[in-house]
Structure 1
């Protein structure tokens, strides 16, 4: 059931109790976890925090802690699964679920005892009476048993005919109800998508308890920003949510100009301004940022000789020397750096880059460190999906969690460097796929395979990074393709996951119009049906249904079935 008062029905319930917190491996979940940790520390709530990489991990962790707990908090995991059926908990265990994945399992929605959903209800959820009903026997006790058998044969025959007719009518109504239920479930579960950021839900809790701070607000901002960057929400939804967060920014950061000089070195100030859609440009060179940002790279077609020439024309139109553009942004001439944003926006209009700016948030730590929410989201994700081998998955999770603290700027800086490597690997792979014409049309969708031995494949054995590559590839292909239908096609991409076990990571993304206007994705159900049809060895372990693992040997028959299914 949905919680109507998150403070009373959730937080006050877990006060003075020991809580198990399960957190999925994504930036929004980490930000939500960071906010909840701060609240728990404030009220001395005892908790055990465990990151969970997938459904099997989720089940295993719960079983290991099941005997020690009464309350479980799940962040960006659990809502899409039948929790009670899967975990088989004791009757005294209560689950509080804060999950942005959709659609939610309807058993969770209508369970009013053990499952409490911290999200807002959605209009698309079917009504209880249309999905659930008490089991009634189609064969009721024979009413004729009331008879002592002394009725004439004609009367008993008419009586039996009436009973049979009533039973047939009940069965007909039950069959119609079952058909309607099946259609409602199909319509509800056909597409996967995302709801409100988990970090924003947790920040709303902090605000309602008057315990919100600038730090908690910043983590909510980073969580929302990650949803935009990973295309989990569209631009319009982001603007609406960001406008709401800006009200809190104004409340927490209302110092006047006369107070600016007295800001403590340990203070934090957040501002809401127009930001360039250029990846990490404050921590990179302007030239490299333009090359590796999907918006500019795809619109200028920078993987072609003509497009690369156009980039130089663009920089010349700005009036910024190439030598300045190629050195680190922080080292640029002050006179140029102070004006380069305005010049870039002016030149962008001439080159068809009207949407190169988007409203975003900046955080100023003391006098020196200034970060954009876009960059922080990239850095946290890079730490979370690092390909360095000296740490475990849990180690990377904890490092990503720590880098959000102001005292760990060095860890965030390391994440930004890792993010640059991810961007380089992504752009190089996109160029290779286009040059080798390895983005193939299957009629109803596009697909691309990252071959074993391809440089930088290790980066794409991670679901978020592979998703970023798939979105970049689809946008680049659409810009290059002369086929108008290409814009309406979704993309499926595979990359080697584990060479020893011969497994692949598969991700499906919706076509570009949906990427810009909606996050609905039909590949979760399509993958499931194609797998069943071909008996392919696939694993739906990710909390996102459009991400699966598959045996390399089953790839051909799986894609044949997928083509047949979607044609």
Structure 2
């Protein structure tokens, strides 16, 4: 069931009462350890729990297998499990084999879409926190889900099991044509809008678990047309009538269409946590900063979500810092301010030239991966009145006049060079005498700490992250969010990782290794000095977004991208699918569309003999055995999106 925004506080008070009834730890937080948004949301939740003096334990998890292992290992006295950045895509009641008799509740905060409708409208033991997505947009799906629940309950009472559904469905279209003169039951008798067994909110409806598949793909743990809840059928409903069969087909089509839209992102999880904190009246600058960082982390994967949320965050910064920025440094100054920002990579921590060369935005717009593009960059700098020597100076040593006028200089040539949007607003946080960081720089630093080896030595090379070290890196990123020294370490790692991404991406484009297939572009990384880095999902996603942007501006055909990188140690390929980028003149905001690769990968895995491991919370990322990659990709071209 779902929790709308106006129910956040009552549900939290219920959670608080249940978990404070004993002196032992009653709350366990399962958080995705490869997700900055989830990391920031967890820190906000911890601040709430500490203020309420609620004992808790945090368990970082990498994928679904670890999620299930962590669930199985829970102590019997645990009464509340909070899932952050995970859990929304699967039928948790079935996958985790939840016993409804137990008093344990699962609270889900997840920005991945689509929701598994069983969690949202069926299971009493699972409470999904709504960011407005369910209340505003899923009324049709709720009607279909609850209607199927009633029909299924009636069929069970009539002694017909679910297996007969598939046999009947194949003949229903024919039956409908042959039975035009047959009297029909009124459709209103099965309308889920009447007496459908509750609104789907806490306290409404009932659910009973039934066994299902353990596949962690959206909707695959249970057939979309077979909810496991069994509500009370409406009076007068008779199974087998033509109108009932027609309604069942319509309901199934509605739910199938919802799952068929592909995966996407909704509002950041951290924004829901901040909403809860605000409703409790405990918001502070520290939690606002975490909310800004977590939201900014989605700027690449879901720019429309960030663009929709940024004005609200901006207003919140101005509300909590009404006096504006101060010019005089103060030792304990942790204030936030709205400053001019740029789509340049870590500008404040490198040179202008290096920042432009490593920027995904500038590299795509100017085609900096080839000599022609680099020449164009040199010409652009000259037109800006910035010499190459000056542009290569570290930003902290750059002429103050250039710093103050950079915005106007870039704005003056942006139309000519097609780099409109390079100048934008951002949020800056001060760390007393020790410096200041923008939210974008903080995201890059924390992401690098999650990617890099578990070391804080700036001089150490950024090596591939072994799975055994991911949890350690999670805690390093956790500490870094409040420690500018660790953030500076992360900045160093981020620069090396981005340079590796640019090197590898440039090599793929120069050697024409990005192949154009029937329905998608394909790039395979199987050699090179930086190969081991791309065994990490976050680093692979960096490269995928870099390639996707470059290909989009190089060739305006809107095609998705499949990127595979060899993990030599595990002898598998890590495969990531990205949707086609939208054009700037589309009716919707530019950026990635819904991602259909999650379902496509699952279908290919079912239809071929390829050994595929689907375990990531990101449904469009899978592992494929090295010897099976060719067959998997061939099957993907046949299945399509």
Q: TM-score, normalised by structure 1?
A: 0.89
Which of 85, 99, 104 matches 1:93? 104
Deviation at 1:409, TM superposition (A): 1.1
Deviation at 1:339, TM superposition (A): 2.3
Could you say which residue in structure 1 is the equivalent of 2:2? Answer: 2
Could you say which residue in structure 1 is the equivalent of 2:93? Answer: 84
Asked if 1:399 corresponds to 2:473, the answer is: no
Which of 523, 526, 542 matches 2:616? 542
1:365-514 matches, within 5 Å, as 365-387=431-453, 388=463, 392-405=469-482, 408-451=483-526, 453-481=527-555, 484=556, 487-497=557-567, 499-513=568-582
Deviation sequence 1:108-155 (CA, Å, 0-9, x none): 0013621111123251460233442242348959xxxxxxxxxxxxxx
Could you say which residue in structure 1 is the equivalent of 2:424? Answer: 358
Give the distance between the partners of 1:504 and 1:454, measured in 2 at CA.
Answer: 15
Deviation at 1:431, TM superposition (A): 0.8
Aligned length: 533
Deviation sequence 1:330-351 (CA, Å, 0-9, x none): 1112233232333233233332
Which of 116, 129, 151 matches 1:105? 116
1:202-351 matches, within 5 Å, as 202-229=273-300, 231-234=301-304, 237-255=305-323, 260=326, 264-351=330-417
Q: Decide whether the 8 Å contact of 2:582 with 2:593 is kept in 1.
A: no
Question: Match of 1:56, SS?
Answer: helix
Deviation at 1:478, TM superposition (A): 3.1
Bigger Cα displacement from structure 2, 471-480 vs 125-134 = 125-134
Asked if 1:22 corresponds to 2:30, the answer is: yes
Q: Decide whether the 8 Å contact of 2:9 with 2:279 is kept in 1.
A: yes
Over the aligned positions, Cα root-mean-square deviation in angstroms equals 2.5
Cα 1:242–1:479 change in 2 (3 A) is closer
Could you say which residue in structure 1 is the equivalent of 2:59? Answer: 50
Q: TM-score, normalised by structure 2?
A: 0.79
Question: Match of 1:271, SS?
Answer: strand
Cα 1:509–1:518 change in 2 (3 A) is closer
Could you say which residue in structure 2 is the equivalent of 1:188? Answer: 258
Deviation at 1:416, TM superposition (A): 0.9
Bigger Cα displacement from structure 2, 281-290 vs 332-341 = 332-341
Deviation at 1:195, TM superposition (A): 0.9
Which of 616, 627, 633 matches 1:553? 627
Question: Match of 2:602, SS?
Answer: helix
Which of 116, 123, 137 matches 1:123? 137
Could you say which residue in structure 1 is the equivalent of 2:149? Answer: 132
Could you say which residue in structure 2 is the equivalent of 1:154? Answer: none
Deviation at 1:278, TM superposition (A): 0.5
Q: Decide whether the 8 Å contact of 2:112 with 2:265 is kept in 1.
A: yes
Deviation sequence 1:231-265 (CA, Å, 0-9, x none): 2242xx423311111221112101267xx367641
Could you say which residue in structure 2 is the equivalent of 1:153? Answer: none
Give the distance between the partners of 1:543 and 1:351, measured in 2 at CA.
Answer: 39
Question: Match of 1:132, SS?
Answer: helix
Give the distance between the partners of 1:68 and 1:340, measured in 2 at CA.
Answer: 59
Deviation at 1:360, TM superposition (A): 1.9
Give the distance between the partners of 1:216 and 1:70, measured in 2 at CA.
Answer: 26
Deviation at 1:176, TM superposition (A): 3.0
Cα 1:165–1:211 change in 2 (3 A) is closer
Cα 1:211–1:549 change in 2 (3 A) is same
Question: Match of 2:70, SS?
Answer: helix
Q: Decide whether the 8 Å contact of 1:194 with 1:519 is kept in 2.
A: no
Question: Match of 1:474, SS?
Answer: helix
Highest CA radius of gyration, 1 or 2?
Answer: 1
Structure 2 unmatched runs, 5+? 21-25, 160-182, 186-236, 454-462, 584-588
Structure 1 unmatched runs, 5+? 142-163
Deviation at 1:193, TM superposition (A): 0.7
Could you say which residue in structure 2 is the equivalent of 1:41? Answer: 50
Deviation sequence 1:146-165 (CA, Å, 0-9, x none): xxxxxxxxxxxxxxxxxx99
Q: Decide whether the 8 Å contact of 2:613 with 2:622 is kept in 1.
A: yes
User: Which structure's residues are more often helix, by fraction?
Assistant: 1
Question: Match of 2:256, SS?
Answer: helix
Asked if 1:71 corresponds to 2:80, the answer is: yes
Deviation at 1:403, TM superposition (A): 0.5
Question: Match of 1:273, SS?
Answer: strand
Cα 1:351–1:165 change in 2 (3 A) is closer
Cα 1:140–1:544 change in 2 (3 A) is closer
Bigger Cα displacement from structure 2, 75-84 vs 314-323 = 314-323
Deviation at 1:89, TM superposition (A): 2.9
Give the distance between the partners of 2:364 and 2:324, measured in 1 at CA.
Answer: 41
